[in-house]
Structure 1
Amino acid sequence: MVHSFSRPDACSGHIGRGLQGLTLTALLILGGCASAPPPDGAMNIAQAQLQAARDADAADYAPVDLGFAQNKFQQAQAAMASRDYEEAANLADEARADAELALAKARLGEARAKIQSKMNANARLRERMEQAHPELTAPPAQRAVALPPLPGAPSQPGAADMPAPASSVLSAPLPQEGGFQTVPQQAPPSAADQGEQP
């Protein structure tokens, strides 16, 4: 048996090279589509949240959370520089969340500081009032000056305070045998009582 091998013609070589080129082009296109785009929006949001936390004095009220947010944002910037966009997006999102937490804690701390300031001011006013008018802080039996009536209080003396009745006015409770008292039952009316004839 004789095998004859023929040399491939020039046309089939061009087709093979063309298929290789198409395959390479398709792989490059698919590879470009698979990579994540730069997370510019996430980075901008994280940066804005960081600035809002700094403006709300998070460095004073929530320094640890603000530090976490700043560190993660710096890591996100480094990932952006190395074109690891997926990691940059994740770190930017974590930085945003930490900055939001720092902002919330800063607002809470500021509100607590304001409340404490108002409580201190009220205590100082109370002390001054007690020093200027000691008769107002004495027990009612020891007060030398009668206080003016409250607005809307009755103008007649004694009208607001009604004494309780004396114990002799109250009657003793009714005896109860085995529970509630019942109303005596009446016998049902008979036919004669109703004027009917049998």
Structure 2
Amino acid sequence: MVHILPSKALSKGRRLLALASLGLAIATLAGCASAPPPDGAMNQALAQLQAARDAGAADYAPVDLDYAQGKFRQAQTAMASRKYDEAAVLADESRADSELARAKARLGAARAQNQTKSQENSRMRVEMIDNHANDTVPIPTNVQETESVLPEPTDNTPPPVGGQTQPLNDHQGGQ
């Protein structure tokens, strides 16, 4: 027994099948489409890497700088392979690691500068103490460090008339 379908029913079934196939094809193509290249994220990561290097991260935060550089190289590899989603994530991680390296470098540089200033202050204190070690007149306790205290003259004789001066006598055994 052969069933003959009316031509109108056949064309409606074909249209549904064609429509379903078209929808499946569009969904498949949409799933295969990838994100656009993350050029902005890559540029930001590169800029942060350079800022970290300029801040001295190679000296003060080498591990964090290495992490950032490694993530950036991985992002470049992902870009070359057209894995843009992966490249964007790696670029963002590189940027974050670079920011951390830069912050640690700035902190390290500030600590080093502070250490240098402290050492200079200590050296100046020792020098000041050494310079005043042979002073015969003690500095009064109520005198500030910025004031100079001169010893009182021991000889009360007036200077000679006519502007001429006489040599001082050496009382410390210089004769």
Range class of TM-score, shorter chain: 0.5 to 0.7
Runs of 4+ in structure 1 deviating by more than 6 angstroms, as ranges, are none
Q: Supply the RMSD in Å over aligned alpha carbons.
A: 2.8
Question: What is the Cα deviation at residue 32 of structure 1?
Answer: 5.5
Q: How does 1:45-124 map onto structure 2 within 5 Å?
A: 45-124=44-123
Higher RCO by CA contacts (8 Å cutoff, separation 6 or greater)? 2
**Change in CA separation of 1:113 and 1:146 when aligned onto 2, cut-off 3 Å:** closer
Once residues 137 and 15 of structure 2 are traced to their aligned partners in structure 1, the CA distance between those partners, rounded to angstroms, is 117
Write the deviation string for residues 85-114 of structure 1: whole angstroms up to 9, x where unpaired: 221122112111211111111111101110
Rate the CA distance shift 1:43–1:8 in 2: closer, same or farther, 3 A.
Answer: farther
Q: Structure 1: give runs of 5+ residues left out of the alignment.
A: 137-142, 152-198
Following the alignment from structure 2 to structure 1, what is the Cα–Cα distance between the partners of residues 3 and 120? Answer: 107
May I ask how many residue pairs the two structures share in their alignment? 142
Residue deviations 1:108-159 (CA, integer Å, cap 9, x gap): 11011101110111122112211211167xxxxxx733427447xxxxxxxx
- 1:4 corresponds in structure 2 to 2
Amino acid at match of 1:90: V
Contact 1:135 1:145 in 2 (8 A): no
- With the length of structure 2 as denominator, give the TM-score of the two structures: 0.67
- Contact kept? 1:46, 1:93, Cα under 8 Å: yes
**Scaled by the length of structure 1, what TM-score is found?**
0.60
Shift of 1:68: 0.8
Alignment of 1:24-63 (within 5 A): 24-28=24-28, 30-31=30-31, 35-63=34-62
Residue ranges of structure 2 left out of the alignment (5+ in a row): 145-175
Aligned-partner SS, 1:147: coil
Which structure has the larger Rg? 1
- Within a 5 Å distance, the mapping from 1:183-194 to structure 2 comes to none
Q: Distance in 2 between matches of 1:85 and 1:101?
A: 24
The CA distance in 2 between the partners of 1:150 and 1:133, in whole Å, is: 15
Per the TM alignment, residue 71 of structure 1 is displaced from its structure 2 partner at its CA by 0.5
**Percent identity between the two aligned chains:** 55
User: How far apart in 1 are the matches of 2:28 and 2:61?
Assistant: 47
Give the distance between the partners of 1:110 and 1:147, measured in 2 at CA: 41
